[in-house]
A and B are shown apart, each in its own frame.
Chain A
Amino acid sequence: MKINALLEKLLSRAILSLFLVYTLFPMLWLVMASLKTNVELLGDPFRFPAPPQFGNYVNAFKSAHLALLFSNSVIISFSATALNALVASMAAYVLSRYKFRFGPVIFSTLITGILVPVSALMVPYFTLIRTLGLYDTKLALILTYTAISLPLSVFIIKGFMDSIPAELEEAALLDGCDFYQKFFRVIVPISRTGIVTAATFQFLSSWNEFLYAMLLTSSEQVRTLQMGIRFFASQFTTDFTSMFAAIVISIIPSVAMYSLFQNQIISGLTQGSVKG
């Protein structure tokens, strides 16, 4: 009996450590490789860089125009996140608090969007964006990203708003709030958790998006960071170490965002909001 328990414990430790190593090791290797010289990289892949080549980061910044790509990504992701949060919470508010005939139909139609594989819609998105005259603009990506995750955001935020007691709104009405005041002063602050959860998911997916960034833009002026490191890899195939440095730089914002909103993300997943 005791030996069994011990074995079970050992086995459990072994499995957990295996996944830990699998998750962490490649990333540590990435950071290490980004600090090596190209000659060192060809040698023993496990040796520590001596001395660390921070120049790789400078190279990456210069030759890949990382500053431009970075600011493009920031503008696109933050705009899409803000716009998505606003549009989604407005719609969620009406669908959650007002009972009208088509409400349930509109809501269930909206959230079937969660299940549509949007990569199947490449051709119509391409023609739509061109017809709107938005091809190769930041606005094309902002609109697309805002729309793609709208169903999920409405679903998450409506879930939170549904749990707000009706008395709160009645009190606001008695205090003389009109429709808009009620929304911005009462409902939005209370639903903050839901809105932030949706926004965090939205930011991460916009920041990391690749397919539509490739399809809907072409010039370097609007290129995102994800596209940038891909081009960097194909153009400068000899300078591997600078490529690794560029990848490390592209990861930093996602990691920062995750560390900041870690509990938010975990509880967002926990509340079943993404279980669609």
Chain B
Amino acid sequence: MQRTTHFRTGAILFLLPALLLFAAFFLYPVGYVVVVSLLNWDGMSSPGFAGLRNYSALFHDEVFRISIRNNLIWAFAEALIQVPLAIVVALLLARKPKGWKLLRTIYFFPHVISGIAITMLWGAIYNNERGLLNGFLRLIGLSEWEHNWLGGLGSAFPSVLVYGLLYIGYFMVIILADISSVSQSYYEAASIDGATRTQQDWHITLPLIRGTIATCVTLAMVNGLRQFEQVLLLTNGGPANSTSVLVLYLYKELQNFHYGTANALGTVLIVLGGLVILTVRRLFNAAKYDM
């Protein structure tokens, strides 16, 4: 009897720190974001109730519209370019060509290094005068293609967006792991029936790893919604707000003490994230979903 009480105290003590931190950093903040998004507040003076005015102001705001468009482009670019590339590379590595383990390691490399370091590196590559890209164009005699990549209205957003899409290591590792768990007997049977490796990938592997692909698509799209560092460091949203994204806009509104709109932006982000998760889940109808 004494032992049970003793164990109950232990269990409560063990759960408490996690629950406290979760309440302080997840439950309370999410509630706070939603409630304050309905207020007209600068964080100091007494707040007034604004109803949905913060939201209607956002939808009439050009920077918000650019930001949400850029974020959606980003989310879909990751889902439709990055994930398929990761699948192709994973399928190729699954055939275990020479050095595949080393390649797997190297492809993962950019995900270990901080986004800041990678982004600053690309800032140097895009740099107008001393950048690698313009230097390369000069070298191969295409100096008329030289361009102020991050300063041009048309080229800034594509430049900020595109380089990260080709870092496919993270999704590749997840997909490759799932491929290697597919039973070899399927492939043996297919080989006997005369199916080529590509046909096997198409008709056996891809359907069997559908759940993992759904997971990657979700992660990729949520990632596209969360983008921030690349934009902050390369262009700070410019030129003329053409590269702005939601998190950057939120950060700027916070700095201006527009707590109402900042939290309306936060709510939009949370809702968009939820929508992505539900939609992808439904689209793939993934029976084998982990959570």
B is bound to A? yes
Contacts of B269 in A (CB 8 A): 117, 119-120
How would residues 1 to 39 of chain B score, 1 for a CB under 8 Å from any chain A CB and 0 otherwise? 000001100110011011101101110111011001000
B15, A91: Cβ atoms closer than 8 Å: yes
A94, B6: Cβ atoms closer than 8 Å: no
Contacts of A215 in B (CB 8 A): 251, 254
Which of the segments A39-47, A48-56, A190-198 contacts the partner chain?
Answer: A39-47
A157-207 interface with B by 8 A CB criterion: 178-180, 183, 204, 207
Contacts of A126 in B (CB 8 A): 254
| Number of residues of chain A lying within 8 A (CB) of chain B | 89
Which residue in A22, A44, A125, A251 is a CB contact (below 8 Å) of B117? A251
B146 at the interface (CB under 8 A from A): no
| Given A45-B136, A93-B14, A208-B116: A147 touches B43 (CB 8 Å cut-off) | no
| Given A23-B167, A123-B266, A179-B6: A115 touches B21 (CB 8 Å cut-off) | no
A1-51 interface with B by 8 A CB criterion: 8, 12-13, 15-16, 19-20, 22-24, 26-27, 29-30, 33, 41-42, 44-46
Contacts of A178 in B (CB 8 A): 6, 10
| Given A125-B29, A183-B14, A276-B291: A46 touches B251 (CB 8 Å cut-off) | no
B14, A90: Cβ atoms closer than 8 Å: yes
Residue in A closest to B258 when the chains form the complex, CB atoms:
A123
B266, A121: Cβ atoms closer than 8 Å: yes
How would residues 235 to 255 of chain A score, 1 for a CB under 8 Å from any chain B CB and 0 otherwise? 000001001100100110011
Which of the segments B49-57, B62-70, B87-95 contacts the partner chain?
Answer: B87-95
Main secondary structure of the interface of A (DSSP, over half): helix
Which residue in A23, A210, A272 is a CB contact (below 8 Å) of B290? A272
Contacts of B173 in A (CB 8 A): 266, 269-270
A247, B120: Cβ atoms closer than 8 Å: yes
B157 at the interface (CB under 8 A from A): no
Residue in B closest to A87 when the chains form the complex, CB atoms:
B17
| Number of residues of chain B lying within 8 A (CB) of chain A | 89
How would residues 130 to 157 of chain B score, 1 for a CB under 8 Å from any chain A CB and 0 otherwise? 1110011001000000000000000000
Task: Identify 22 residue pairs between A and B in the complex whose beta-carbon atoms are under 8 Å apart, listed by A's number.
Answer: A8-B198, A12-B92, A13-B97, A24-B106, A44-B135, A90-B14, A98-B11, A117-B269, A123-B33, A123-B262, A124-B29, A127-B32, A147-B24, A150-B22, A183-B14, A207-B114, A210-B229, A233-B120, A247-B120, A251-B114, A255-B109, A255-B113
Residues of B within 8 A of A (CB): 6-7, 10-11, 14-15, 17-19, 21-22, 24-26, 28-30, 32-33, 36, 43, 88-89, 92-93, 95, 97, 103-110, 112-117, 120-125, 129-132, 135-136, 139, 166-170, 173-174, 177, 197-198, 212, 215, 222, 225-226, 228-229, 233, 247, 250-251, 254, 259, 262-263, 265-267, 269-270, 273-274, 277, 290-291
Given pairs A94-B11, A269-B174, 20 additional interface contacts (CB within 8 A): A19-B168, A42-B129, A42-B130, A45-B139, A117-B225, A120-B270, A125-B25, A127-B32, A128-B28, A151-B26, A215-B254, A226-B117, A229-B116, A233-B123, A247-B120, A255-B112, A269-B170, A270-B174, A275-B174, A276-B215
Residues of A within 8 A of B (CB): 8, 12-13, 15-16, 19-20, 22-24, 26-27, 29-30, 33, 41-42, 44-46, 87-88, 90-91, 93-95, 98, 100, 106, 109-111, 113-117, 119-128, 143-144, 146-148, 150-151, 154, 178-180, 183, 204, 207-208, 210-211, 215, 226, 229-230, 233, 240, 243-244, 247, 250-251, 254-255, 257-258, 262, 265-266, 269-270, 272, 274-276
